[in-house]
Amino acid sequence: MIQTNSGIVASLSQLRHHLILPTVLIMLRLTRWLGSYHCLMDSHHPIYLTWNLNQHYT
């Protein structure tokens, strides 16, 4: 019983490792797609907000 339990846990952790990377890639692709879709030049976008502040103070 203990043997099968540890085997299940091992396969689950392995599965999680296999699922994490594609999920992250999909999320990155989605954020990139959404970013280009919404046009990142939106001044309320945090990246452009900090970039504008940097441009302003340098």
Q: For the residues of 13-32, what is the DSSP string, one character each?
A: HHHHHHHHHHHHHHHHHHHH
CA dihedral over 20, 22, 25, 27, signed as positive or negative: negative
More confident residue, 55 or 10: 10
pLDDT in tens, 15-41: 777 788 888 888 888 887 776 655 555
Whole-model pTM: value is 0.36
Q: Which residue has the tokens 């919404």?
A: 38
Output the pLDDT for position 55. 65
